[in-house]
A and B are shown apart, each in its own frame.
Chain A
Amino acid sequence: MSDRKDDMNPGQPDWDDLKGLWQESPAVDLGKLARNARLVWWRMRIIAAFEMLCCIAGALVFAYMIYDAESNAQLVFGVFGVLFSLGGGYGCLWVRRNAWGAPDDNALSLVRLQINRAEAAIKYVSLNNWLGLGAVAIFPLAYWVIHDGTRELTPERLDNFNKMVVVAAIVMGVSIIGLWPYGKRKKRELAELKELERQLLDESD
């Protein structure tokens, strides 16, 4: 595309000069880019597979607990655990739903994809909070299980169990508090993406 010199302002380079200027660019490490693209592609899939495997493994462990239950408490604990694991797995899938879009989509659909991602991230924070709350229900159930009379409960064993509960509670608390700024950032990003979507819609009119 070429245009006459007097198209641009006097004193400014003409269009062909601008093109020349534009096309002088620094070299980029293309090998590194290619390697990284492949790496990210596999990483995305490995993380998703790992999440699902964890949830399935969790569900299987709790399912075995149901099969091997010696008391009602163990049965209830097992059922709760299976539901919790499957719910977690479904939650992961739900959060990732629409998170991967077609790479050759147009700008508007990509912006909408980004909006989906930002909304998914906000939902993820919310899900984490609810899972944290749900996990609180595990504690009384776990105490019920260890007091169900099917095992000898020594003070040392009870002490270890209490320590484990405290650690689990701290981990849950940290994950809820730690994700709070992330959720806030995602909400801000969502507002900006919606503004961009509006601009793109205006342009297509």
Chain B
Amino acid sequence: MDFKAVLSDYGPMLSRIVASYEADPAQQQEVLQEISLALWQALPKFRGEGSLKAFVARVAQNRAVTHVAKAASLPRKAELDERLACAADGPEKSLEKEQQRAMLLDAVRTLPLGLRQVTTLALEGFSHREIAEALGITENNATVRFARAKEALKLAMVSGPRVRGGVS
């Protein structure tokens, strides 16, 4: 399997998953490197059982989880990335979108680990079955967790970013 092609197809998804665990862009790069190494090692073992997308997401989620403990417990704000600005939108619209995206990322980062995993995959457009496959849980469990995750995300977005204590 062509590693470069896999990275090319799923790179944006990987960077979003990483962003849900780490706000610091430099640290994000480090985690992305770690995930790409894990993928490089893991891809030859992929036998086509289940989707490649779910396989890649599982490797990424698992590696990102291990990063959580290393991350500083103090909250760090993501820097606004101007590359995100959509050319079709005016500056105000772009800024508003960027603020919403930053708010969403902040809210996702405050979720407990299990809910955060489900949320990022659901936001990626994974079905319940694919979430279950990627996280190694039952589909029923994925459905229940998604309902809880959405509720928690709603609350987190209403209350805004909060200070995290210890390992989140």
A interface vs B, CB < 8 Å? 1, 3, 7-9, 12-13, 15, 18-19, 21-28, 30-31, 33-34, 36-38, 40-41, 102-107, 110-111, 113-114, 189, 192-193, 195-196, 199-200, 203
Contacts and interface: CB of A to CB of B under 8 A. Distances in A.
Contact of A9 (B33, B83, B101, B157): B157
A33 B59 contact: no
B36 A8 contact: no
A40 B136 CA distance: 28
Given A1-B126, A7-B150, A33-B32, A22 B101 contact: yes
Top 3 A-B pairs ranked by shortest CB distance?
A: A103-B41, A103-B42, A103-B38
Contacts of A12: 154, 157-158
A8 B152 CA distance: 11
B83 A27 contact: yes
Interface string B141-168: 0000010001000100110000000110
A40 B4 contact: no
Contact of A40 (B33, B62, B66): B33
The interface size bin for chain B is 35 or more
Given A23-B16, A38-B40, A103 B59 contact: yes
User: What's the dominant secondary structure at chain B's contact region?
Assistant: helix
B69 A195 contact: yes
B39 interface: yes
B69 A196 contact: yes
B4 A31 contact: yes
Interface of B: 3-4, 7-8, 11-12, 14-16, 19, 32-33, 36-42, 45, 55, 58-59, 61-63, 65-66, 68-70, 73, 81, 83-84, 86, 97, 100-101, 104, 112-114, 122-128, 136, 146, 150, 154, 157-158, 166-167
30 contacts: A9-B158, A22-B123, A23-B123, A25-B12, A30-B4, A30-B7, A30-B11, A31-B4, A36-B33, A40-B33, A41-B40, A102-B42, A103-B41, A103-B42, A104-B38, A104-B45, A104-B58, A107-B61, A107-B65, A110-B62, A111-B69, A113-B66, A189-B69, A189-B70, A192-B70, A192-B73, A196-B65, A196-B113, A203-B113, A203-B114
A26 B70 contact: no
